[in-house]
Every structure is written in C-alpha cells, then in structure tokens.
Structure 1
Amino acid sequence: MSSEAAATRPRVLSGITATGKLHIGNYIGALSVWAREQDRFENYFFIADLHALTIPENIQPDALRERVTEIVALYVACGLDVDKSVLFLQSRVPAHASLAWIFNCVTPIGWLERMTQYKSKSDRANPSAGLLTYPSLMAADILLYQPDFVPVGDDQRQHIELTRNIAQRFNSMFGEAFSIPEPMIRTSGARIMGLDDPNVKMSKSLAESRDGHAVGLLDPPNKIRKTIMRSVTDSGTEVRGDGLGAGVENLLVLHEALTDTTREDSLAEFEGKGYGVLKKALAEVVIEHVSAIQERYNEIRADRSYLDRILAEGAEKAANIADETARNAMRLTGLL
C-alpha cells in the first residue's frame, strides 16, 4: 500500500503483551479482526514487550525473546500482511518509554490506583512501580500514533478511557498535542471466556498455568479436542435457547465467531441437541482454523531472517510517526 493511499484511511493501533501463549480468544477478539479489516485502515500493530516487565519475578530473558518471535510469526500466520500493516516491537521504538515518563508526571496517582487490572494484581508482596504506571505506558503506546480507532477486547474499555483522559489532561495543561481515539470493539466474540470457568475471561497467563482453560493457537489437534470436550457447561444436557448457561453461551459464541454465523443460525443447528454434539462441532471448526494458522506459522518460523526483517522495517516505519509526536510533546513541556 502506498503512503498516499494509507494516509487517506483512518489509522488504527493495537498490540498484544509478550506474556503467555496466544489462544483462540486472542484470535477471535483481536487477530482475526485486525486481519479482516486491513484494507479499511492504516494499520499499526505492535508486540508489547516492555509491559512484560511489570512483574519482575516472572521475567525469563530467553523465554521473553522466544515469545516475541512466536508472536510476530503468529501475527503473520493469522493473516496480517506486512504490505498493509506495520508490525513492530514496542521496545525498539524508544519514544514509547520517553512519552510514558511524561505521562507518568501528568497522570494523577488516583487514576492509576482505580485501574481494575492493577487492583487484581497488586495483592502480591511489594508490587513494582511499573505495575502501577503501566497504563501510562499503554497511553503512550496509543497516543504516539494519533490513531482514530483502537481495536481492543471488551475488557480494555477502561484503559482506552484512561488514555483519552490522559490525552485531554495533557492537551489542557500544555496545548493540543494528541487526538482523542475511539475504541473499536467487535459486537460478537469481544469477550471469550475460559473453557474451564465461563465466568472468567480467557487469559494468556491462565492458559499457561491451568490445563483446559484455553485452546492455544499452537496446540495439537488431540489437545484441542480434549480441551473442548471437557469444557464446563452447566447442569443441563441439551442446548436450549431460552435458558443458556454461561458455559454453553461461550461455546456458541466461539462457534458463531469462527463460522461467521448468528445466534439464530446456531439455535437452528444445535437447539434440542446434547452438549456433546455442540462440543464436537466446535472442536472440528477450531481444529480447522488452528491447523491452517499452524501450517503458515511453521513456514514463517523456518525463516528467522524474514522475522528479523519484519521487526526492523516495522520499527523504522513506526518511529517515523512516534518520534514526531514525542518531539512535539517535549517541545510543549519545555524539554526541547
């Protein structure tokens, strides 16, 4: 895509943290949406490796490097086209860290302490300062690129609202520097729940620690089938549209998202049938999608120089935008 053509399209920016294994929820809620919408937008998608440092006890340097390589390969395997989307590693664009510091100084502590994810993770002994301030870094990640939209999961609404508040506060204090982005959340499949607990969002970290929680994008077919067949439903035995439990609802959402069908279609196919019928059908659909991703992934991983080139070229393109924004913020605050 030419730079002139891209400039006429709304810009989107999103990313995934370099922790845990990517799963079917990431694919449905993020990766598949990014890939499908590439032609509509000017696209910037990154791997958030700086965010992976917020819990220092969990840092394993070699594992982090491997996870970055795995994620960028999965980005491409899931359909992101480097001719249509800029793919880059957060830490290779220094403006992310420098603008995050400015935002740390602008953002009231109370705003950060109210963040749901901080509350859920700060019960550990001596939580890091990075765990408290990472929403400021997330705001920098977004606002550096002046995006029109931020494609995120439903659980990230609070972070986008904080980002908007930080942008408005900076603009009010120092002058207009940042546009105010809007969240872009898919209407179906925005919040895929755990297969072992349908009341908890499917999570990369839980997928690492709890067997049966999620289907990983690199899981073999036999493991995928086992995970889905053992997924939690409810005390009933048949799909009933007038009284769906959380587990059955989650399985139907997964099936609908992967087959591009509606709830009406689902009930026409599964209502009155046993949960086992739904699970078997879902397992086959998931295996079909994941197998295609894995075939492409294995081809990409075999060419490490290609992956290195993607990240090098992506960082250069991203920095062209990010550096200009950061310099303007520095000028407005008197740092330049």
Structure 2
Amino acid sequence: MNELVLTGIKPTGAVHLGNYIGAIKPALELAQNTEYQAIYFVADYHGLTTNPNPKEFRQLTYGIAATWLALGLDPEKVIFYRQSDVPEIFELNWILACFSPKGLMNRAHAYKAIVDSNKETHRENDYGVNMGVFTYPILMASDILLFQSNIVPVGKDQIQHVEIARDIAESFNRHYGDTFVLPAFQVEKETSVLPGLDGRKMSKSYGNTIPLFEEPTKLRKLINKIKTDSLPPEAPKDPETSILFMLYKEFATMEEIEEMREKFKRGIGWGEVKSELYQVINRFLEEPRKKYHELMSKPEEIDFILEKGAKKARERSLPFLKEVKRRIGM
C-alpha cells in the first residue's frame, strides 16, 4: 500500500511565496510520485482561532482552495476537501483531547510565544488565548491521524505539531494497542525558513510577505523592496547566502540557475538580480494567476470540487473512526 502524504493550509491571509515554496510546492511534487497517495485540505476551522470576519473568512477559504487548483492540483487524482466538511475530524479531536496532557499543550510554540509576549507587556499570561489557540495542536493531530498519514510536509516552524501528533498517537496506542500510524514530517531543507522582504522569516504577522498571485506591477515593486547588503555591483557575491538567489532557484530553469550562480561569482548588481528574479517569478505565475482569478469568480465551482472531495475523505475516514471508537468501548 502506498504511503499517504497529507498537507493542509489554513485561511488566515493571502497565500505568499513562503507558503508556496515551503509547503505547496513540495506537497505537489510528492503527489506526482506514484509511490504516494496524496491528501490536501483547506484547514478552515484552524483559521477560526483568530475570530475572523465571516465574509473575509469565506473568501480566504475559497482563496486557499483556488490556489491549490490553480497550481495544478488534480482533484480527480487526489483527495481534496474542506476541513469543516468532514465531521469525523472533530469527533476524533475530542477523543484525542482525552489522551493529550495539558503539559504538552503548554509547550506548544505558538502558545508559548503568546505567553512570553504577555509577560513582556506585563499582562496576564493567558491574555488573548482562547481554547482554540491552546488546543490547536490536538485538532492538527486529528487532521493527521484520522487518515493514517505517513508523511506531513511542513515548514521548519511546524515540525513540533507533527511531533505532538506522534506523542498523542503513542499515548493512545499504549492504552489500546497499535491503532494510529506515527507520522513523519518532511521539510525542504534549503527553504525551511524562507526570509521575507526585511530578512526575517516570511510571515503574514510580520507584514513582509510577497502574495503569490500579486499582479505584475505590484509584484515587481515588492521584489525591489527585498533587503540586500551594500556590496557594489562589481563585487563577487555568495549565491548560497542570498535571499534573492534562494527565491530565484525556485522558479528558474536549471540552465538559468547555473548562469545566475556564475553572475554572482563574477559580480552583479542587486538591481539586476531583482529584475531577473521578477522575470522568472512572473513567467511562472502567469497562467496560475489567471486560473486563480477565474476560480475565485466561480465559488460554486470550488464548492462542488470540495464537497466531492469531502465525500471521498469521509469514505476513507469513517471506517477508521469506527475502529477507534470500538477500541475505546463505544
């Protein structure tokens, strides 16, 4: 039986280059490998932790789905669904919560970051923390474990969530015997944390992202804002430490990459690098951008695809949930 690869993205903002390079691209590449069976989902309930505006939330959810489809995801060849359309996930979430120590949740990076921030600003430790935020790793574990996922492609900052899923699965398995598959994470090593416009990690919270389907003029302006050093054009530069080269490699051909590498070593101005980076990114995104906007104008078409995918997801997940319930005596 083929190993199962599972990837989900939550609708908390426009998909950016970091999302594409760190999670979407490697997940799509795995789907092309006949050794794997792929599952993709829109993690809409995960996005609810920030209490979003309903209209905006709906559009962001459609945006995630349209992004996958525009970038070449074939819903006929994979399982592709909206998290909220698969109720088995949320039933398993409660079961797993009963095997999740509070101490484990206390150590979750996202929760700890909020607590640390509150301490620095002299607020109550749990100020701004709803239970969705606190128990977020359990719902993610449910996403992963319900489908017996073997591999979960993640960014470096998401590794802990897969490790928590393993801890919860092991806790359950100790009580009831081998039930859950222990998932493994997969990180793209070279792009595990992609820098943003200001050199920090590319993140919506930092406001330093480049939206994936940005229109060409704005895309060029954002690329020109990427932070670089003050080396003069004629000075040799190290391509392996350059944000620009890191991005360039993800969208250029092998021949273009080697040519750019040589230009770095001989000396090239940052303005010229940014111009060529824009050219290869815009070239790659031209067709996906067009398809994305077409899909966003037809939400009913997206709904049809997601509902069809949810049916396949439930056909797979329901028998396993019944087995889980049988093991705990239900």
Q: Normalising by the residue count of structure 1, what TM-score does the alignment of the two structures yield?
A: 0.87
Indicate yes or no: 2:232 matched with 1:237: yes
CA-atom RMSD, angstroms? 2.1
2:131 match: 129
Note the alpha carbon deviations across 1:225-268, whole angstroms, 9 max, x for none: 111111111233356445976xxx22211111112549865421
Indicate yes or no: 2:103 matched with 1:103: no
On the 8 A contact 2:3/2:149 being kept in 1, the answer is yes
Counterparts in 2 of 1:67-86, with a 5 A limit? 67-86=60-79
Which letter maps to 1:192?
A: L
2:149 match: 147
Among 177, 180, 184, which residue is 1:182 paired with? 184
- Distance in 2 of aligned mates of 1:243 and 1:298: 34
Q: Is the deviation greater in 113-122 or in 131-140?
A: 113-122
- Distance in 1 of aligned mates of 2:194 and 2:182: 27
Measured after TM superposition, the shift of residue 326 of structure 1 is 2.0
1:224 match: 219
Measured after TM superposition, the shift of residue 187 of structure 1 is 3.2
2:122 match: none
- Distance in 1 of aligned mates of 2:293 and 2:50: 30
Note the alpha carbon deviations across 1:57-96, whole angstroms, 9 max, x for none: xx21111111111111111001111122211111111111
Counterpart secondary structure, 1:188: helix
- Distance in 2 of aligned mates of 1:110 and 1:84: 40
2:321 match: 326
Q: Is the deviation greater in 156-165 or in 183-192?
A: 183-192
1:12 match: 5
- Distance in 2 of aligned mates of 1:306 and 1:244: 43
On the 8 A contact 1:194/1:214 being kept in 2, the answer is yes
Change (3 A) 1:269 1:292: farther
Counterpart secondary structure, 2:189: coil
Indicate yes or no: 2:264 matched with 1:270: yes
1:35 match: 28
Q: Is the deviation greater in 180-189 or in 18-27?
A: 180-189
Change (3 A) 1:18 1:103: same
Q: Which runs of 5+ in 2 are unaligned?
A: 119-126
On the 8 A contact 2:39/2:79 being kept in 1, the answer is yes
On the 8 A contact 2:154/2:185 being kept in 1, the answer is yes
Q: Which runs of 5+ in 1 are unaligned?
A: 1-7
On the 8 A contact 1:86/1:317 being kept in 2, the answer is yes
Among 14, 19, 23, which residue is 1:21 paired with? 14
On the 8 A contact 2:99/2:171 being kept in 1, the answer is yes
Which letter maps to 2:290?
A: E
- Distance in 2 of aligned mates of 1:261 and 1:187: 19
On the 8 A contact 2:194/2:201 being kept in 1, the answer is yes
Note the alpha carbon deviations across 1:189-214, whole angstroms, 9 max, x for none: 23211112x1x3212344xxx3xx12
Indicate yes or no: 2:196 matched with 1:194: yes
2:121 match: none
Aligned-pair identity (%): 34
On the 8 A contact 1:77/1:294 being kept in 2, the answer is yes
On the 8 A contact 1:189/1:257 being kept in 2, the answer is no
Indicate yes or no: 2:197 matched with 1:204: no
Which letter maps to 2:263?
A: E
Counterpart secondary structure, 2:190: coil
On the 8 A contact 2:5/2:149 being kept in 1, the answer is yes
On the 8 A contact 2:150/2:184 being kept in 1, the answer is yes
Which letter maps to 1:269?
A: K
